[in-house]
Structure 1
Amino acid sequence: MDESQARPDPSVEPTDPLRVWFRFIRLSRRVTAAVAAELRDLGLSIPQFDVLSTLSEREGLTQQELAARLYVTKGNVSGLVDRLVEAGLVERRAIPGDRRSHALHLTPEGKVLATRGIAAQADYVARTLGQLDAKDLRAFEDLVVKWRELARSDAAS
């Protein structure tokens, strides 16, 4: 690393939240790209994997419930689910007494692919974040939880 890329001496310069924010965003993009590449090897996009992994945790969700869990609109999830149904990974089942909504379930092939995608993510996390020692990982988690609470508070304002 040359001098222009060296980190500032923390004892001389205070930490700038905006600089931390930009580093966090760049890290998020790098991690997302790396995971997307691993999922692509399985024939999945990140949004497709999000649906499969969510349904692997809780089958029987409606499209509206799935959209809420994924923080997307019902319209966005509708087309995605349509494509996953066409691919034979998800199926819609009638909900007794509700003619408008259907419960979403993984097919056996969908379950296998969800499991493979979860394993790919677990491997990536083990190779990266999993290399932090327990103390640093705990501190990082504490900071993420604090930031999440601040973001929730800000959104509620």
Structure 2
Amino acid sequence: MEPSVQDIGIAVKRLQWRHHTEASKRLSELGVSLPQWDVLRRLHEAPDASLHDLAQRTFQTDQSMGSLASRMIARGLIERVEGRGRAVRHAVTPEGERIRKAGAKILESVLSESLSPLSPAERSTLHKLLTKVGEA
């Protein structure tokens, strides 16, 4: 029997929840949350990103991103830097970079374990399909 679109949606959400839960648990050993690590990752990828850009890249509101950035500054993970225009910009501190790298290994492990039942060809197909519907 062919799965319904609701069945597919629930399966995607279940996998996302599993990734989020396990990653959050393991990242807590580093003293950061998944959203904090995601900010470090996104700042590494786009060092000139404004708070608004970071909010969009991390699926947060501008207000929640501002609060998160303030907490991360207080913890010494990021710092405010001078930028062009009025946009507030941030940079990853050396401690934030250490956490980003350690967190990347954790996420790689979580995702590898989760996707291990799939062959490389199946992982490639899954990626293509998710990208196709994610960009629609």
Which letter maps to 1:121?
Answer: L
State the superposition RMSD in angstroms.
1.6
SS at match of 1:101: coil
- Asked if residue 128 in structure 1 is aligned to residue 132 in structure 2, the reply is no
Tell me the CA shift for residue 41 of structure 1: 1.2
Equivalence for 1:67: 55
Shift of 1:146: 2.1
Identical positions, percent: 26
Instruction: Work out which of the residue numbers 30, 35, 38 in structure 2 matches 1:42.
Output: 30
Question: Do 1:36 and 1:46's aligned partners in 2 also have CA atoms closer than 8 Å?
Answer: yes
What's the TM-score, normalizing by structure 2? 0.90
Structure 1 gap segments, 5+ residues each: 1-12, 151-157
Residue 126 of structure 2 aligns with which residue?
140
The aligned residue for residue 3 of structure 1 is: none
**By how many angstroms is 1:83 displaced?**
0.5
Shift of 1:130: 4.1
Deviation at 1:54, TM superposition (A): 0.7
Give the distance between the partners of 1:22 and 1:94, measured in 2 at CA: 44
Give SS of 2:79's match.
strand
Corresponding position: 1:30 with 2:36: no
The alignment of Structure 1 onto Structure 2 pairs a total of residues equal to 136
Residues 74-115 of structure 1 show CA distances to partners (whole Å, capped at 9, x for unaligned) of 11110100000010110001225x3x3332101100000011
Q: Which residue of 1 aligns with 2:102?
A: 116
- CA distance in 2 between partners of 1:64 and 1:72 (Å): 9
In 2: Cα distance, 1:27 partner to 1:71 partner: 18
Secondary structure of the equivalent of 1:128?
Answer: helix
Report which of the two structures shows the higher radius of gyration computed on alpha carbons: 1
TM-score by length of 1: 0.79
Q: Does 1:91 align with 2:79?
A: yes
Whether the aligned pair in 2 keeps the contact of 1:94 and 1:101 (CA below 8 Å) is no
Which residue in the other structure is 1:155 paired with? none
Shift of 1:128: 2.2
Opposite residue 140 of structure 1, the aligned amino acid is: L
AA partner of residue 129 (structure 2): L
